[in-house]
Amino acid sequence: MRPVPPPVSALPAPTSADSRPTAVVYCEGNFARIDGKTANGLVRSSERYRIVAVIDSTIDGADAGLALGDVAAGIPVVDSLSAALAVAAPAPRDSLESLAAPVPTPTPDVFIFGLAPLSGLMSLADRAAVIEAIGAGLDIVSGLHEFLEDDAEISAHAQKAGVALHDIRRPRPTRDLRMFDGAIDGVDCLRIAILGTDGAIGKRTTATLLTAALKDAGVHAVMVGTGQTGLMQGAKYGVALDAIPAQFGVGELEGAVVAAWEAERPQVIVVEGQGALSHPAYLSSTVVLRASRPQAVILQHAPGRTVLSDYPDVAMPQAADELALIELFGRTRVIGLAINHEGMGHTEVAASAALYEFELGIPAADPLWDGAERLVDMVLQAYPALAPEATPVGS
């Protein structure tokens, strides 16, 4: 098999250190909403960048974590790029001479386009915001379907300002794309796909939480990303699946899973899902199942959501129906249900979890409210040999 390059080689390597580049995330009018899922995800988790501010004038002054319904993140939501630049942390001052000097305010390194509209395209206002950020000297990271490097005006502004444009969704040249070749059969570890009943329902968040929680529990786990947000956050392996020509999608994702196995020999590979297998418009879940051939699936569901997020005339599927479809199509088994608490309170979530456990016969929990450890419990209940204490001494 040909070597598979990193999914976003031009971006900084993931790190948990404070040396991460700083970033402002643009999410005008949509932070903490469905079309703001890229910004939402970056605030919750980012190994590539240290997020210093989110731009959304409709909730100016909020803490980004609290706006998401989580704990305070210490990341302010501001109304403009100029306000975002003003809140960048000042450089440390550790001497009498530096204390007497004016305090410099460093410019953030990157402007991340944090909107994920159904069209994958910019509005005129979005375009103006990108050009303003280029003028301020910030590199641009975008997950849109329209590539900034191919835009004559934006590219000219970037060249004049000496900044870089990073189009996360741009696939490799067609000549370098790979077809499915069955190499996945040589991946000798547990593969868990995080699938869902709709798009923008929390699959990436659950995949990220599960991977980190497995590591904390002493299980060597690696995540393979399949969307632009996961790659921005720091997934070392993966592809922006919805931007790859259909002929090559299964092979490209297979290659990413194989690359994760060959590089790290993990006990578990967690594969981020996309869309839903039953979704009338999105086909990515079929690719995830064919490419990674997961032995197990955790299903993400939002009991409070009655219609599909981008298709308000289409009713949400029932969790039981999606589970049956996944197990039949993917020749796999669903080992747990992750609940998205959208539009629900704690009491409703607890009642829903109990009902699903009774109806489906699998554990159910909200990983954001109940803790990611519940996801680990789902995995270890299905695969008890993974538990560190179950490993024979000297093995």
What stretches of the chain adopt beta strand conformation (E)? 22-26, 50-55, 77-78, 110-113, 139-142, 165-167, 190-196, 221-225, 237-238, 268-272, 296-301, 307-308, 311-315, 333-339, 364-365
Bridge partners, 339 (sequence order): 301
Identify whether the C-beta of residue 342 lies closer than 8 Å to the C-beta of residue 304: yes
Residues of the chain with pLDDT under 70: 1-6, 8-9, 16-17, 88-106, 390-395
Instruction: Give pLDDT, residue 339.
Output: 98
**Closest-CA residue to 141 (of 117, 170, 118):** 170
Instruction: Give pLDDT, residue 180.
Output: 97
Instruction: Give pLDDT, residue 64.
Output: 98
Instruction: Give pLDDT, residue 40.
Output: 97
- Alpha-carbon distance of 356 to 364, in angstroms, equals 7
Is the pTM higher than 0.85? The answer reads yes
Q: Which amino acid is at 199?
A: G
**Closest-CA residue to 168 (of 90, 92, 113):** 113
Instruction: Give pLDDT, residue 101.
Output: 52
Identify whether the C-beta of residue 164 lies closer than 8 Å to the C-beta of residue 148: no
Q: What are phi and psi of 224, to 5 degrees?
A: -110, 120
Instruction: Give pLDDT, residue 292.
Output: 98
3-state class (DSSP) for residue 369: helix
**Residue that is written with structure tokens 């959208």 in the block:** 342
For the record, the structure tokens of 179 come out as: 């077809």
Cα 220 to the center of its chain, rounded Å: 20
What stretches of 168-260 adopt beta strand conformation (E)? 190-196, 221-225, 237-238
Instruction: Give pLDDT, residue 395.
Output: 43
